[in-house]
Amino acid sequence: MSTYLEEYKKKLVTADQAANVVKSNDIIEYGMFATKPVDFDTALGRRVGQVENVAIRGTGGVPPFPAVVQNDLEQKSFQYFSWYFTMLDRIQSDQGRTCHLPFNYHEATILAYNQELYHIKPKIWCAQVTPMDKHGCFNFGIGNSHNRAMALWADIAIVEVNENLPKCLGGNDEYVHISEIDYIIEGTNTPAYATPKMAAPTPEEKKIAELIVSEIESGSCLQLGIGSMPNLIGEMMAESDIKNLGIQSEMFCDAMVTLYNAGKITNANKSMDVNKSTFSFCLGTKETYDFIDENPRLASCKVYHTNSPDNIAMHEKFISINNIVEIDLLSQVCSETSGIRQISGTGGQLDFVIGAFHSKKGKSFLAFSSTYKDKKTGEVKSRINPMLTPHSVVTVPRSMVQYVVTEYGMANLKARSIWGRAEALINIAHPDFREGLIKSAKQLGIWSRTNRIPF
């Protein structure tokens, strides 16, 4: 450590001093998810009126609310952008303070190393990191993702040290060296944002989980998405006869701790990163953060490593499980918007849908309850509709959809005709909506009662 102490002291600044480096028209990249800076952001928020037209990009906003947005009510100093929307980002977007940046998640590091894309090159990168180790390295903790790529691409790299971040071993790209950064902020060590415990699953979710778990074999490699459904599936697998599982997932979630504790995860059958659970970021409870801290059974990697469809497909029996918002009778899937309103993002869903299908004996599952209750009207609506809600975004093209699952059943849409897809989807829709869907399918010309071919 003594080798780097003098350099550390020279680069050590206050949050306000670091924020004063920002100039009008700069592009700033914040750390991903719970590695976004807190003290630097607060200090930058105090510069409202001193700078103009500063763009700030984040990924998956978590509390606290960004000070640069909260303080800049008229958007003259700062404009916030997000690569992936969370509830926090939705709130900001509804108020006109945040704009979405669409992309496939595995492309994040590719974008950062593409020198022709100067319009997105950050002037400044700032993220929370763990304290420097004896080798002069700062670990990205629960947000590897594309942090290193952005840190090296930016003209100015700033780290905000937080002693409360768990240290996640590599893997690859899990650190930045003191020689690669310009400024160090010793932060106020705010607790790393932890997710609350998931609500109790609904009967519909339990049925969906049972259907998916019945399709998972021992020796499978798993990707679990965000939300209560993947965690429920993990808990069911922990109580099943399934064993010898592997993990390659963009996110390490609470369910994976449950599976480890049940002795279900060995990673012995993986084709790469053997004996390691590979992930790129973590959002979970404090207990999950304690589990991953310096755990040699896990490997924190850049998102290209975890999400590249080619890397995913290398594993036999790859199982991808994700939630969706809506699907239409043409089998187009929307997982990220409600009409024009952005609610999440493409993220890695398409990456894993493609990769899992290309895996030998692999399966991609898109899961959703057949209905939902409109919060404004209280009306029960179907998630399977004749066409997607107007202005909704297609997250997974119909040609790439494999298994879709509701509480009423499971359908494999691969190699099915337009007629066959419509019929299969209607068969797993809520019974109250099936006749209406048949009528719409006939009007659209995608339904034939005379068809006797089984697809």
Q: Which residues are catalytic?
A: 250
Residue with tokens 């339904």: 447
Peptide bond into 64 cis (omega under 30): yes
The answer to whether residues 332 and 300 touch, using CB atoms and an 8 Å cutoff, is: no
Residue with tokens 């609310």: 65
DSSP 8-class letter at 29 = E
Structure tokens at 384: 């399977």
Q: Which residues contact 314 (CB under 8 A, 6 or more apart)?
A: 271, 272, 359
Strands 183-186 and 246-252 turn out to be unpaired
Q: How far apart are CA 431 and CA 410, in angstroms?
A: 15
Secondary structure of residue 172 in the 3-state scheme: coil
The answer to whether residues 232 and 429 touch, using CB atoms and an 8 Å cutoff, is: no
Q: How far apart are CA 344 and CA 338, in angstroms?
A: 10
Residue with tokens 């980002």: 89
CA torsion, points 397, 402, 404, 405, in degrees to nearest 10? Answer: -160
The beta strands (E) that lie in 8-64 are given as 12-13, 27-32, 54-59
Greatest alpha-carbon pair distance for the chain in Å reads 81
The answer to whether residues 112 and 19 touch, using CB atoms and an 8 Å cutoff, is: no
Secondary structure of residue 74 in the 3-state scheme: coil
Structure tokens at 65: 């609310």
